[in-house]
Amino acid sequence: MLQSLRCSGRSTPAAILGFAAAVLAVFASTAPAATVPLNGRTFDAACKAASAGDVVTVPAGNYGGQNISCTKSVTLLAQGNVRLASLSFSNANGPTVDGVSVTGAPENGAASVMKSQNITIRNSTFNNMVYLEGAVDTLFDHDTWEPLDSSTQWSNGDMMDLYEQTRTPTPNTRVTVQDSVFHGLRAPNSAAHSDAIQICNCAASDAQHTIDFKILRTKFYDNECMNLRTNTQDEVTLENNLIGDTVRGISGCGDYSLDVLAANATVRYNTFTGSQKIQVNTSADVGQSQTWVGNAGNAMSTNCGAIRGTYAYNVWKSQKCSATDKQVSSLKLNSDGTPQSDSPVIDAGNPASFPSTDYNKASRPVGAAPDAGAFEFGGTTGMPDTVAPETTITSAPSNGTATTANVSFTSSESGGTFECRLDGGTWASCVSPKGYSGLAVGSHTVNVRATDAAGNTDATPAAATWTIDVAGPADTTPPETTITVAPSNGTATTASLSFTSNESGTFQCKLDAGSYGACTSPNTYTGLGTGSHTFSVRATDAAGNTDATPAATTWTISAAPPADTTAPTPAITSQPPATTAATNASFAFSGSDDTTPAGSLTFRCKLDSAAYAACTSPKAYSGLAAGVHTFRVRATDTAGNESASVSATWTIQAPDTAAPTVTFTSKPSVVSPTSSTTATFAFTGVDDRTAADDLTFRCALDDNDAEPCTSPDVVEDLGAGQHTFAVTATDAAGNVSAPATTTWKVIAVTEPPVTEPPVTEPPVTEPPVTEPPVTEPPVTEPPATGPLVPPTVALLRPAGGSTFRDTLRARATATDDGKVHHVEFWLDSRRFAYDTAAPYTGFLNTSRVRAGAHTLVARAVDDEGLSSSVGIAVERVRRVSSVSSGLVQATALPGDDSTALSATGPKSGKIAVGLTSCDDGQAKVVKTVTMVANKAGRAGQSVPTGDLCVASVTLRK
C-alpha cells in the first residue's frame, strides 16, 4: 500500500530562496540546450545526466517499465515506435515524455503520476489505465487512450483515474487533458463500473478534492458506463469537447453520456453528439455551482440539472433551461459533430465575445454571431482540417530590364508544399525562392498556391506581375559559388554535398583530380576510398559566365568499413483482427538491422495485388471491400539491402443485416387456463454472427412498453383474463428480431395461496424467546483490541426482503465513541448517496436498475477513517408486490486483525455474505462467507481479515 506523505515544515523562507535563485541565474553561465541519445540508459538515468532543456532521443524498441524521479525539465523524445510496459513518475518535477506507446499491466495500469509536478506526456498512446495521485501541473497533450487489440475488455476498469487514496497532503491540482481521444473502453467484468475518466474523493475530507481539472478539445466515443464521472466539490472545466453516447457492455451500465454529479463545473461550448442525457446531482444539500454556456446536446437527466446551476445560450433537444437557451427537434450535425448549413446551433452562442472564425478556422456557414457547440473556439487539433491555407508572395521582381527574376513566398500553415506557374503555364512543384532566367521583354505573371499537410489547396493563388521593358546590357559578371553542406572527417565512404549560387543557372562539380561535369545540389558520392578527398564546384549563370574561383572543401576518410550485405528484419506490430466488419485497416510495423538504426530504415508496402510503394508506420487503408485481404511490408537499410516481406491476412465480413430469431423454451399453456397470478417465460435466440450469450432481449406484457430482460423472465400479480407476452432479440449489429409472442388465460381465484403461510406459521416468533444465546457473542464481542473503535450503523428502512419499484429510499442511524464523519449508501457495487448529518438518508431513482435481487448497504465512517457496514437483500419489481417474508441481513464490524460478522435470515437458512475492502471505491468482492442461521434465524462468525465491509447478501438454498 502506498504510504502517506507528511511535510515537516519550511526552514528557509520561499522569498529568500526565489531571490537567491534569480541572482544566481543572472551571473551563471548557462549551457545551451542539447540533443543527446539515450545510449542504453533508463529514462530516469538519462534525464538526471542531462541538463535542463536538453532533448534525449529514444530509438524505436521495447523498453519495459520506466520509473522517473528526475527533477529536471528534460524531454525524452521517441524516434520511431517506442513501446513501454509502464511509465511511472514518483516525486518527479519537470520531465516531458513525447511519442511513446504504453501497454500497461492488468493490475498496475499503463502509467502513473504520483506526488509529482510539472509533468507533460504528449503524442502518446495508452492501452490501459493512467493513475494520478498528488499530481500538480500535469499536462496530457495529443494523447490517445484505446484498447491494445480487438479485445472487448479494458483490463483495469477505467482509462484515467484521479485519486486521493493515500490521503496525501497534496490533492491532484491543475491537471489538463487537451486535444486527445478516449475510445473503445469495455468493462473487465459484469460488476465493474468502467469510466473513461473517474475522479474519486478518497481523501480524509471532501475539502481534499481534485482542483482545476481541465478537459479541452478532446473526443470521447464508444466507451462503456461513463465518459467522465466526478464527485462532490471537484473543480472541473469542460470546453470544446465532442462527447458521444456511452455503450451498454457486460456491466449493464451506460445510460448517460456524462456524469458531473455535484462537482463545481464550468461546461462551455461542448457538443454531446448522441441521444443520451447528462447526469447531474439535483439534491439541494450537495449540489454545487455549475455553469453551462454554449453547449449543444440532448438534455439533463432531471429537469434542467444541478441546483445552483447557471445556463445561457445552450441548444437542447429535450428542454430549455434559460431564456437564452434554445429547444429544438434536431441538432442537425454531421457525423464528425460539425453543424450542417441549417443547424440550429449556428448563431446560437454567447454574443458577448467570439472569434471571427470557428474551431476549424473557417467562416461560419451563416451570419456573424457565434455558434453553439464544440466548434466555437480553439484550434484545429483533433478535428478534421478542411480549411485551405493562405498563400502570400513576400518578395517579387520590379519593372526593369533584368531578364532574371526571383520570387519569395510563404503560407499561413507550416508543413505544406507549394506550386508555381509562369504566365499561365502548367503548375509545377516549387520552393521559395523560385528563380527564373532568360525571360523575354514584356509583361510576366507568377502565380503561387500552397497546399497544407491535410491536402487542402489554396483556391485563390497569390500573384505577382512585372514588366521587362528593354533587354539590359550584356551580363559579364560571373556568379559566386558557395558550399552549404560538406562532409566531416570520419569512416563514412559516402558523402553528400549541397551548394548554391548568388545567380540562377547551372553547376559543374569535380572530385579530387577528376574533370568538371554537370551536377545538381545535393551531389552524392559512394564507395569512396580511404584518404583525403577534395570536392570543387563552380556555377555558370544564364549569360554563360562561369565562376573563376570555384568553391572547394576537403575531408579525410580514415578507414573504410566492411560492405553491408545483410538485409534488415521487418515486423508487423499491430494489425486488424482476423475477422472484422470494419472496412478500414491500420498496420504498425518496425524493423531492425545490424548496422542501420531502426529510425533510418525505409519501408515499402502493398495491399493484395497492388504494387509495392514507399510507406511509413502506421499505414492506413479505408473503403475496403468485403473478403480476404493481405498486407505486406519490406524494409531497406541505408546500404540498399531490402528484406523479404512479412505479411498479415484478415477477412472483412459483409455488413451484418440479418436479424436474429427468438423462440420460447418454456411458457404457460396456451390451451389450459391457469389460476396462477405468476408466469415464467424462458427463451433463447439464434443469430448468424452474434453468439447466443451476447444477444440482448426486450420483453413486454400486454400493452406495456418493452423493457430489457433476461431468460427466465417472471411476471407477477396478474389479473384474471387473457394476457400476451412478447420478446425480441437484438444482435451486436443492432438488428432486431421479429417478436415471439404467446397468449394464455388466467382464471379468477378467491384466495391467493401466497398469503396463507405468514398467517398460520408461528415458528418465526417463538425460538428467539427460548433459544439460549449461544450464537450471540460474535455480535456483541468488541471488534478490535486497540483504543480505536469503529462506528456502528443500522438501517432504519427499508427492511430486509423489501421490494421497490421506482425510487429506493434508505435511512440509517450511526453512532461512534468519537464522531461519525458520514454514512454512505450503496446498491450492489456502486455508491449512490453520501450524507454527513443524522438522520442519514439516501434516494435513488431506480428506473434503470434491473428487476431482481439486489444488495443495499449502509456504510458508516468515523473521523479516524474506521468503517462498519450493514447490508440487506432487497428486490426490484416491475409492479406492486407484497413484502417478502424472508429477512436477509448482514452486519460487518471491522477491526485491526479481523472482522466480526453477524447475519439474520430464515431459520436454519444459509446466508452468503460477500465482503469488500472498506477502502475500495468500486466495492470489489474479495471474500465470500457462507453462514448457517440457527433456529432463531441468527448466525455469527469472525473473519481473520481486518477492514472488511459488506458488499452483497444473498440467501442460498
Query: What are the phi and psi torsion angles at 754 (to 5°)?
Result: -70, -15
More confident residue, 491 or 89: 89
- Work out the average pLDDT over 771-785: 44
**3-class secondary structure, 15:** helix
Instruction: Please say if the pLDDT value at position 380 is more than 70.
Output: no
Distance, CA of 788 to CA of 379 (rounded, Å):
56
Distance, CA of 580 to CA of 185 (rounded, Å):
18
User: 44 with 66: CB under 8 angstroms?
Assistant: yes
Residue-level pLDDT at 13: 36
Lookup: cell for 355: 472569434
Q: How confident is the model at residue 604 (pLDDT cuts 50, 70, 90)?
A: very high
Instruction: Please say if the pLDDT value at position 599 is more than 80.
Output: yes
pLDDT digits (tens, 9 = 90+) for 672-690: 678 888 999 999 999 988 8
Q: How confident is the model at residue 17 (pLDDT cuts 50, 70, 90)?
A: very low
pLDDT digits (tens, 9 = 90+) for 131-167: 888 899 999 999 999 887 755 566 667 899 888 655 5
Residue-level pLDDT at 539: 93
SS3 per residue for 591-644: EECCCCCHHHCEEEEEECCCCCEEECCCEEECCCCCEEEEEEEEEECCCCCECC
- Work out the average pLDDT over 573-594: 91
Provide, rounded to the nearest whole percent, the portion of the chain with pLDDT above 90.
35
Helix residue ranges, H only, 730-783:
756-760, 767-770, 777-780
Whether the ω angle into residue 618 lies within 30 degrees of 0, i.e. cis, is: yes
Instruction: Please say if the pLDDT value at position 295 is more than 70.
Output: yes
Q: How would you classify residue 142: left for phi > 0, otherwise alpha for psi between -120 and 50, otherwise beta?
A: left
Q: Which is it for strands 840-845 and 852-862: parallel, antiparallel or unpaired?
A: unpaired
Least confident segment among 385-394, 515-524, 720-729, 835-844 = 385-394
**3-class secondary structure, 359:** coil
**What is the rounded average pLDDT for all residues in the chain?**
82
Q: How confident is the model at residue 307 (pLDDT cuts 50, 70, 90)?
A: low
Q: Provide the residue type at 442 as one letter.
A: G
**H or E element that contains 46:** helix 43-49
Instruction: Please say if the pLDDT value at position 508 is more than 50.
Output: yes
Residue-level pLDDT at 1: 28
Q: How confident is the model at residue 354 (pLDDT cuts 50, 70, 90)?
A: low
CA distances from 511 to 480, 500, 837 (A): 19, 17, 91
pLDDT digits (tens, 9 = 90+) for 224-266: 888 898 877 788 999 889 999 988 888 778 888 888 877 888 8
Contacts of 792 (CB under 8 A, 6+ apart): 814, 815, 816, 860, 868, 893
- Work out the average pLDDT over 298-320: 81
Lookup: cell for 730: 437484438
Instruction: Please say if the pLDDT value at position 44 is more than 90.
Output: yes
Closest CA to 930 of 946, 943, 944, 949: 943
Lookup: cell for 810: 434508505
Q: How confident is the model at residue 93 (pLDDT cuts 50, 70, 90)?
A: very high
What DSSP string describes 669-685?
-SSS-B--S-EEEEEEE
Residue-level pLDDT at 285: 45
Closest CA to 241 of 149, 98, 361, 375: 375
Distance, CA of 308 to CA of 286 (rounded, Å):
10
Distance, CA of 629 to CA of 736 (rounded, Å):
30
The structure's pTM equals 0.43
- 742 C-beta neighbours (distance < 10 Å), count: 17
Instruction: Please say if the pLDDT value at position 775 is more than 70.
Output: no
Distance, CA of 69 to CA of 55 (rounded, Å):
17
- Work out the average pLDDT over 104-125: 83
Angle at 714 between CA 708 and CA 717, to 5 degrees: 115
Instruction: Please say if the pLDDT value at position 553 is more than 50.
Output: yes
Residue-level pLDDT at 892: 76
Q: Provide the residue type at 711 as one letter.
A: S
- Work out the average pLDDT over 540-551: 90
**3-class secondary structure, 482:** strand
CA distances from 421 to 444, 449, 461 (A): 11, 9, 10
Distance, CA of 235 to CA of 211 (rounded, Å):
5
Distance, CA of 379 to CA of 361 (rounded, Å):
7
Instruction: Please say if the pLDDT value at position 718 is more than 80.
Output: yes
Least confident segment among 52-61, 121-130, 749-758, 877-886 = 749-758
Residue-level pLDDT at 347: 83
Q: Provide the residue type at 283 as one letter.
A: S
**H or E element that contains 897:** none
Distance, CA of 98 to CA of 36 (rounded, Å):
15
Instruction: Please say if the pLDDT value at position 287 is more than 80.
Output: no
Residue-level pLDDT at 152: 54
pLDDT digits (tens, 9 = 90+) for 881-925: 444 445 788 787 888 788 888 888 888 788 889 999 887 777 888
Instruction: Please say if the pLDDT value at position 4 is more than 50.
Output: no
Least confident segment among 448-462, 465-479, 678-692, 743-757 = 743-757
Residue-level pLDDT at 208: 65
Instruction: Please say if the pLDDT value at position 774 is more than 50.
Output: no
Look at the alpha carbons of 904, 905, 908, 909 in this order and tell me if their dihedral is positive or negative: negative
DSSP-assigned beta bridge partners for residue 901: 892, 941
- What is the chain's length? 957
* Cα-only R_g, the chain: 36
Residue-level pLDDT at 202: 63
- Work out the average pLDDT over 433-451: 91
Distance, CA of 743 to CA of 726 (rounded, Å):
9
CA distances from 891 to 794, 835, 934 (A): 8, 20, 16
Closest CA to 341 of 318, 319, 361, 367: 367
Instruction: Please say if the pLDDT value at position 356 is more than 80.
Output: no
Instruction: Please say if the pLDDT value at position 827 is more than 50.
Output: yes
Instruction: Please say if the pLDDT value at position 3 is more than 50.
Output: no
Instruction: Please say if the pLDDT value at position 48 is more than 90.
Output: yes
User: For cell 473478403, what's the residue?
Assistant: 627
Residue-level pLDDT at 355: 58
Q: How confident is the model at residue 561 (pLDDT cuts 50, 70, 90)?
A: low
Distance, CA of 276 to CA of 255 (rounded, Å):
7
